[in-house]
Amino acid sequence: MSLESNQQADWMTRSLKSVWHPCTQMQHHETVPLIAVSHGCGAWLHDHDGRRYLDAISSWWVNLFGHANPRINAALKDQLDRLEHAMLAGFTHEPVIALSEQLAARTGHTLGHCFYASDGASAVEIALKMSFHFWRNSGQADKQEFICLSGSYHGETIGALAVTDVALFRDAYGPLLQRAHVVASPDARQAQDSESAADVARRAAAALEKKLQERAGRIAAVIVEPLVQCATGMAMHDPVYLSEVRALCDRYGVHLIADEIAVGCGRTGTFFACEQAKIWPDFICLSKGISGGYLPLSLVMTRDEIYQGFYDSDMKRGFLHSHSYTGNPLACRAALATLAIFDEDDVLNRNRQRAQRLADALASLASHPKVRHFRQRGTILAFDAAVDDPEKAASFSRRFFTAALQQELLLRPIGTTVYLMPPYILSDEEIDGLAARTQAVFEQVIRH
Ligand SMILES: Cc1ncc(COP(=O)(O)O)c(C=O)c1O
C-alpha cells in the first residue's frame, strides 16, 4: 500500500470514530468506502490518495460553478476583510441588500421581500409559518393545515418533515409530526395508455381541487417542488400542473409555496422553475445553489401583500422568526458572485447546449432493456433501473456508488433511480466522459 493510501485509510478511520455522517446507516461503511476529500478543483474532487472524482451530482445539488471557483473565491476573500458577520436585526449590510434587490428583480419585483436563513429546511419552516401567521393576522386563524404532494421532500426538521412524503425519512418521527394532507403527484411516469405528461398533470390538479373543495377553509398553503420532485427520485412533471395549481390556489384562497431549493438557480433551464409555467407563487424557497455551493444560505421570497399583513405597531403581528446567522454577509457575497456568473457567462443558454450534449451522449441508455423512464429537465437527467430482485434493488444505490468511484465518478442513485445533476461548467470532453462512464457503471451493476 502506498504512503498516500495509508493516509486515506487513516482519515477514514478517524472520521468514522468521531463524525456521525448525514443520511447514512453508519454500519454500511463496513463495506462502502468513505472518501476523504483533500481538495476540489472545477468539477473534480480529489482524495488523499491522489484519486479524483467528477462531482456529477454537484455535491448534493449545491455546487453550480465548480469547486474553488476563482471568481467566487475572490469575492469571498474581499468580503472576509470587510465584514464576516453582523446580526441582521437592527443592522443591515450591502451584500444582503444587493442580493435581495437582485433576486426581487429576477421575479420582476413580484416577490419583492426576502427573509433569510441558513439551510433549506429552515426556509421551508419559514414559508409554512409565514403563511399560517399571515392568515391569522388576516382574521382567518382556522387556516392551520397544509397540502403537499405524494413523494414530496421538503427537508428533515419537524415542520418540514410534516410536509414530506418520503416514508424512509418521515415515518420514524411520525408521532412528532402534525402531518399535512398528501395529494396525488403529477409525476409523468404515471401516464396510462395514451396519456401525455400534461394529462397526468391535469389529473393530479383535479385531485388537488377535490381536497380544496373539502377543506380550503382550513388550508393555509399548498407546497410543491416545481417541475422536479428531486429527493423522491427525480419525478418530473409538466409545467401545466403549476399553472393549474396557481389558478386553484387563487380560486380557493390558499397560498402557493414553491420550494425551489433544489430546482431553482437555473437547474431546470430557467432561473426559477416556476417561470416555465409563467406563474409566480406566493412564496419561493431558495437555498443550495444560491451560494454557488460555498456556504449555508437560504431565503424565502414573498409578495408585498403578505409583507404588509405583518406590518403593524403590534409586535406580535410581526414575523419574529430568527436564526443567528440570518443574512450572513459572506454567504450573501458568495451568492452575489454566483448571480454575476449567470449573467457574465450567459449560463442558461450555454446549459441548454450542455444538457443536449449529455442527452445525446446517453441516448443509447434510453432504449436499454433494463432502463425505464429515461427523462430530462434542464441539467437534471435521470432514469430508473429495472431491478426485479428486492434484495438487489435495496443494495443497488450503494453498489452503483462504489462502482462509480472506480470510474472516477461521484454518483449516488436514489433507490434504483440513477440521476446526473452536474455543475454548470462541464467541458464537452467531461460530458462525453461522464456519459461513457455512467453507461459502463450501469452495465456492470445491472449484471450483478
Ligand atoms: C426540495 C427540497 N427542499 C428542502 C430541502 C432541504 O434542504 P436542506 O438539506 O438544506 O435542509 C431539500 C434538500 O435536498 C430539497 O431538495
Chain-centre distance of CA 416, in angstroms?
19
* Ligand 1 lined by 121 (C-beta under 6 Å): yes
The dihedrals phi and psi of 67, each to the nearest 5 degrees, come to -85, 145
For the record, the C-alpha cell of 147 comes out as 397540502
Give the distance (Å) from ligand 1 centre to CA of residue 2. Answer: 39
Give the distance (Å) from ligand 1 centre to CA of residue 5. Answer: 34
Give the distance (Å) from ligand 1 centre to CA of residue 258. Answer: 12
* Ligand 1 lined by 430 (C-beta under 6 Å): no
Q: Domains, the chain, ranges and CATH?
A: 3-68+346-447 (3.90.1150.10), 73-344 (3.40.640.10)
Q: Which atom of ligand 1 is nearest to the CA of 155?
A: 6
**Protein residue with its CA nearest to atom 5 in ligand 1:** 155
What is the residue-level pLDDT of the chain in tens, covering all 448 positions? 444 567 888 999 999 999 999 999 999 999 888 999 999 999 999 999 999 999 999 999 999 999 999 999 999 999 999 999 999 999 999 999 999 999 999 999 999 999 999 999 999 999 999 999 999 999 999 999 999 999 999 999 999 999 999 999 999 999 999 999 999 999 999 999 999 999 999 999 999 999 999 999 999 999 999 999 999 999 999 999 999 999 999 999 999 999 999 999 999 999 999 999 999 999 999 999 999 999 999 999 999 999 999 999 999 999 999 999 999 999 999 999 999 999 999 999 999 999 999 999 999 999 999 999 999 999 999 999 999 999 999 999 999 999 999 999 999 999 999 999 999 999 999 999 999 999 999 999 999 8
- This model's pTM is above 0.95: yes
Task: Give the whole-angstrom CA distance, residue 223 versus residue 375.
Answer: 23
* Ligand 1 lined by 159 (C-beta under 6 Å): no
For the record, the C-alpha cell of 104 comes out as 426581487
Task: Give the whole-angstrom CA distance, residue 441 versus residue 419.
Answer: 13
- For residue 419, the cross-strand partners are 382
**Protein residue with its CA nearest to atom 4 in ligand 1:** 154
Give the distance (Å) from ligand 1 centre to CA of residue 70. Answer: 27
Helix (H, G, I), strand (E, B) or coil at 287: coil
Give the distance (Å) from ligand 1 centre to CA of residue 154. Answer: 5
Spatial neighbors of 79 by CB under 8 A, at least 6 apart, are 95, 329, 330, 333
